[in-house]
Amino acid sequence: MNYAEKAWMLHHGKPLLSHVVDSISPQVDMILISRNNTSDPRYDELPYPCIADVAFAANDNDGEATEQQGPLSGISACARHVKTSLTLVVPCDTPRLPNNLMRKLLDGLGDASVAVVHDGNNEQPLVFLALTTALEEIDIYLKTGRRSVKGWLEGMNHNRVYFETGSDEFENINTIDQLA
């Protein structure tokens, strides 16, 4: 979407981020927001901690950290501030998250480290519940130069939690047309 700060794009009259916060706030005790190292002052006005992404230098990158390393660097940065044993992760561009998301993921976690949503058609790698201690593995993964959330999940003991097929609850807003 032309590199706009996606969290602030309007969907049905309010920012995408507001839709997500409204969906999950009744389900969790604490909200942290990853802010992609942006200096956008709107983050400073939110009643939640907004954490800047951390940059990781890959082992094969001459020790230089690169900018915009993807969602995992934001998840890693936020994980350092989590004070609970479990962490729910959701992206800012899924404005219709279900009101039973946390409960279903918690029920599906079992003995795994991560419970990830499967919408009946596809795994949704950016919607998951993890043991907070498991998020420490992200740093190790990022230092190898890899950035894929799917790749990180493949290395973790994770369960898929199936939601209703055909639902739009996990649809990502990726185009201007979808914002309407």
pLDDT tens track for 14-53? 999 999 999 999 999 999 999 986 788 999 999 999 999 8
pLDDT of residue 84: 97
pLDDT of residue 81: 96
Asked which of 29-33, 94-98, 175-179 is least confident by mean pLDDT, the reply is 175-179
- Reduced DSSP (H G I as helix, E B as strand, rest coil) percent helix, strand, coil of the chain, to 5: 35, 20, 50
177: number of Cβ within 10 Å: 7
Q: What pTM, to 2 d.p., does this model score?
A: 0.91
pLDDT tens by residue, 120-161: 999 999 999 999 999 999 999 999 999 999 999 999 999 999
Domain ranges (residues) in the chain:
6-179
Residues 132/89, Cβ–Cβ less than 8 Å: no
Per CATH, the number for 6-179 is 3.90.550.10
